[in-house]
Structure formats: C-alpha cells, structure tokens
Structure 1
Amino acid sequence: MSAVSAPQRAASPDPAGQRVSVAASLLRLSTHIRYENLAAGLSGGVISTVVLHPLDLVKIRFAVSDGLSVRPQYDGVLHCIKSIWRMEGVRGLYQGVTPNVWGAGASWGLYFLFYNAIKAYTQEGRTAELSAVEHLMSAAEAGMLTLCLTNPVWVTKTRLVLQYTADPSKKQYGGMLDALVKIYRHEGIPGLYRGFLPGLVGTSHAALQFMAYERLKRDYSRAKEQPSESLLCPGEYIAMAAVSKVFAVVITYPYQVVRARLQDQHNNYSGIADVLGKTWRNEGLEGFYKGMGPNLLRVIPACSITFLVYEHVSHVLLNQDH
C-alpha cells in the first residue's frame, strides 16, 4: 500500500470527500516526518559530493560526448582529469560543485525524509516488515517528490560542468545563481525543468537501489539473528550500498545519458525521442552507456559514503543505537 495510491483507492467518488480523504492522509503522513532523517541524508550527500565531484564532472562530459567540435576530446578518465587540471587547475575539476553540493545535499536529505515517512505510513498498524515491492513503491514516490523540488539545481549543475573554456570572460555562466537567473530569463520554467521526464524515469534507479539495499540489510540481519534496524559495522553498510548501487546503475544508466544531453547547452534536441533516435543512429547501444565507467568510479564510493554517514548519523539523532 503506497502513501499516495491507498487513500485515492479508498476515497469516496464525491470530489469533496476525496479532498477530505487526501488531506487526512497527508496529515497522517506528516506525523511520520522526522527531520533527523533530513539532517542525516543531507550530511551524507554533502560529504560524498565534495569528495567525489571531479569524477561526476568527468562522467557528464563523457555522457554528452557526441562528436561536436566544441567539445574537448578525451582518451579516457585519467586523460580527461589531466587535461582539465592542466588547463584550469583545481578550479576546473570543481566546476559546478556549488549546485552539485546543494543538489546532492538537498536530494539525499529530502529523499531520506520522504522515504522514511512513506515507509512508516505504509507500516501503520502492521507487525510484518514491508515487502520488496512496498520498499520499491515507497522509494519511487520519495524520488518523484524530491525531483520536483530539485530539478532546476541539476540543470544548473549540468550547464556549469559543460563550460569548456578556462577563460572566465568567455564562460556563459558565472556561477550557480547567475546560471539559474539566465536559464529562467532566456528559457523560462521549461528551461529549469529540462530533463525532468527522463529524471522521473530515473526515480526507478533509486527505487531499485533502495529495494535491493533494504533486502540485503534485512536478510543479513536475519542471518545474524538480530533486528533489521540494528546498527551494523561500516564495512557491512559499504558492501551493501555498493552492491545495490551497481545493480541499479547497470539497469538504468541510459536515462542519465538522455537527461544530460537534454540539459546540454551545446546541442538542441526536440525531446526524448529525438535524443534516443540520434544517439542510436550515430552511436548505437554504446552511446547510451557513455560515461558509465567514470560514473561507477564515482557513484559506488559516493553511495557507500552517503549510506554509511546516513545510517550512523540517523542512529545517533534518532537514539536508535544498539
């Protein structure tokens, strides 16, 4: 039973009755909101982003690599990092870090906030643990809510990391706020929500990851004959986070390529179908997995750090240490 669909199925056909039922359900859902989850998720997201932002920049540059002459050509991850370092130094490797920190911190914080609230709502009045499908649905709903609030930040980050010149006077955007203002001024709200639809598809990535993570954590705790919410050691959290992340990335990575290309200021696609068609014709299946190598190098440690920090901070804040 999901937090969104359940009240709608149970509601009266009368519109006024439906509004009352939805309002009551949202009120019940709000009672399960714990801001400790927000703080713990935000902490994990910020720490992992600051440490690993250069690999995120490399991943995006490879994802949009479609042969345009405006783009630098890289032979691999190390060549890309060395080239950026040589041209722009540390500053070049950290282009777009501000919206990335804001976006990752807010996304992880909001995601854990919504996810745990929806899980608790779904668990109301039950003693049995949630099923894999219920974890999947809870994570998907949390992802959709989070994306609605954070998509403009991700558009801004993509635009900033795709500025290839080292000369500040030739850069289109001077920073996060400048990019937000210019995108809104020249492209309006649609510009700030470029890539939103593939982003919605991408909520399946987090949903699959959380489903796998919860299942691994539950089965491992059962094998050790301890409660599923028991605090594990760092290595155990890191291993489960890494396995669940690889599982989700392999299945869903092509949406990230589509999303990055839609948000790229150097190309103009008419929509998702246009990106899919051109990428397939010009680059084949391989085109949809460009940048997955550097992405895995970044997201596996990033996810491991995020989940490790989240689990320990949330246990401290929620007084759930065992």
Structure 2
Amino acid sequence: MVAGAVAGILEHCVMYPVDCVKTRMQSLQPDPAARYRNVLEALWRIIRTEGLWRPMRGLNVTATGAGPAHALYFACYEKLKKTLSDVIHPGGNSHIANGIEPSCAGPPLPQLSGLCCCQCFPVSAWFGAAALGWGAAGCVATLLHDAAMNPAEVVKQRMQMYNSPYHRVTDCVRAVWQNEGAGAFYRSYTTQLTMNVPFQAIHFMTYEFLQEHFNPQRRYNPSSHMLSGACAGAVAAAATTPLDVCKTLLNTQEPLALNSNITGHITGMASAFRTVYQVGGLTAYFRGVQARVIYQIPSTAIAWSVYEFFKYLITKRQDEWRAAK
C-alpha cells in the first residue's frame, strides 16, 4: 500500500500542469481567451496571462486524494492478481514481486527488428485466461480507487477551469456543498467508472502483456517497467477519451455549454453524451485527446516505475528481515 500511495502521488503531481491543460481543452464552449492549439501553447499562455502557479491550482487536493486512492488501487490489484494467477496458472510467476533476484538489471529488452507483430506478440495472449485475469483485477481495483478519488476530481477540475472563481480548495468544497449538495461530489462517479473500468482493463492488460515479453522473469527492470507503463497509458488514454470528455462536463457543469443548451444540472452519463454531441458534434468527443495521451504516457511510466521500485525494495527488506530472525 505504501508503494501504491507514493506512486500515485508522484504520478499526479509531476504531470499536473498538463492535466490542467487537458481539462481546459475538453471545454465544449471555451471562452475565446481559453482556446488553445496545442499543449505547449496552452501552458505558455496560462503562465503568461494568469501567473506562474496557475497551472498548479488544485494540486493539493489531488495529492490528498491520490495517496489513499492508489494505495487501495494497487493493494487490491496485487491481491486479486495473485489469487486469479494461482487459479488460472498455478505455479506461475506473474504475481511475484518484481526484482527478488540477485541481479537488478534484469534481461535486456528483446530486439524487435525482423519480427512481425505475430511473432513478437502472439495474438492468443490477448485472449488468454491470464489476460482476462489481469483485466478483471484492474476493474475491481478501479471501484475502490474511484470511490476515494472522485470528490477530489470534482474539486480539482472546477479549480482548473478558465476564470474559475475558486482560489482555495475549501472555497470550492463549501460552494459545491451549499449550492448542489453532497451528491455533486459523486455526480460523475458512474461515468468515471464507465471510463476507468475499460481504461484500467486495457491499461493493466497491456502492461502485463508487455511485461510477459520484455521481462518474462519478472526481475526488477526499470527500462521495461517504464516502457510497458508508457505504452499501456497511451493506448488506454486514447481509447477512452470520449468518456473522459463526458466526465469533465459532469464534474465542471460548464456554464457556457449548459446555458446555451439545457437548464439545471447534467446528472448522468447519457445526458452528458447527448450534451457533448449537441454542442460540438462527433469531434467533441475527442477534445483534449492530445493532452490526455501526453499526460498519461509519462504518468503511467512514472507510476509503474515508482511502484515496482518500492515493491522491490519493501519486499527485499521483508525477506532480509525474515532471514535474519
């Protein structure tokens, strides 16, 4: 759980400015001053016009939520992965803590030149029972993660929006509670799950699939953890962007989009999907996809690298302590 908490906090904090840009780029009817062509231009304009620290607003509530959310997330995933691995493939090593080997370097990454994708990555692996087990473990872990993280997401995204009236977390929490009720903090929970369950299924299946090929002995191998994590994050992020756009609309209740299309609050995924289409058409479902992928590639690489390092370190210390007794 300690490894998961540290990994989660670092993942969200390091790439937080890009997350701020992603939230703004997903706006359905942005203010003319908040229309951006790409991530770099957005960051430059936000810093130049709103101040150096503006892209970091809301970071504290994100870090507060990410610690317990990721601790539950990785602990649940490891437990379920071990249980399912033992059922599906008794004696397999996919659930052993990476790195409990004399060598920390691990085997080199395989050379892919000259191999077709069928030789390097057999398709049957994707449809095997092991892949389904990894995906199932990731889905269940997501239920706990999102339950802990959803209120922080609501506050964070409202503070990230252009011309946000909230400068402090307490101001935002108080305003949401008084004006919309406690349920507003979980208004997007079902949409968050609808997005994150397939996201994490794709994410974990891709990561474990790549680890089976790049690091079959499951040694602690930083390069394989970073590469597998980055690829897994990119694939999962691109595939689930339409759901993320709807989640952002539910969290922010974007005034310009709502005032011109509906009255009241958007309260469900179906309503969010309709509103996104009414305002921006099909292309609106992929607003911010560039920023989302750019955010996820280093985020998931950092998360897995840090998590695998601390898992290796803690497990090694525990084994040494047991051996010394």
Say whether the fold is shared (TM-score over 0.5).
yes
> What is the Cα deviation at residue 236 of structure 1?
1.6
Name 1:127's counterpart in structure 2: 91
Contact 1:152 1:180 in 2 (8 A): no
> What is the Cα deviation at residue 46 of structure 1?
1.8
SS at match of 1:318: helix
Instruction: Give the percent of matched residue pairs that are identical in Structure 1 and Structure 2.
Output: 25
Name 2:199's counterpart in structure 1: 205
Equivalent pairs, count: 271
> Structure 1: 5+ residue runs without aligned partners?
1-37, 166-170
> What is the Cα deviation at residue 95 of structure 1?
1.2
Q: 1:71 to 1:111 in 2, by over 3 A?
A: farther
TM-score (norm 2): 0.77
Name 1:60's counterpart in structure 2: 23
2:189 counterpart (192, 196, 202) = 196
Q: Within 5 Å, which residues of 2 pair with 1:296-307?
A: 296-307=293-304
1:283 aligns with 2:276: no
Q: Within 5 Å, which residues of 2 pair with 1:65-214?
A: 66-69=28-31, 72-124=34-86, 126-128=90-92, 131-162=130-161, 164-165=162-163, 172-202=165-195, 203-214=197-208
**Deviation digits for residues 93-125 of structure 1 (CA, Å, limit 9, x no counterpart):** 111111222233333222111111222333457
Contact 2:220 2:312 in 1 (8 A): yes
Q: For residue 259 of structure 1, what is the amino acid of its counterpart?
A: K
* CA–CA separation in structure 2 for the residues paired with 1:247 and 1:83: 29
RMSD: 2.2
Q: For residue 73 of structure 1, what is the amino acid of its counterpart?
A: R
> Structure 2: 5+ residue runs without aligned partners?
95-128, 256-264, 320-325
> What is the Cα deviation at residue 235 of structure 1?
1.9
* CA–CA separation in structure 1 for the residues paired with 2:267 and 2:204: 33
Contact 2:238 2:293 in 1 (8 A): no
TM-score (norm 1): 0.77
Contact 1:143 1:207 in 2 (8 A): no
Q: 1:262 to 1:188 in 2, by over 3 A?
A: same
SS at match of 2:71: helix
* CA–CA separation in structure 2 for the residues paired with 1:68 and 1:296: 21
Contact 1:107 1:147 in 2 (8 A): yes
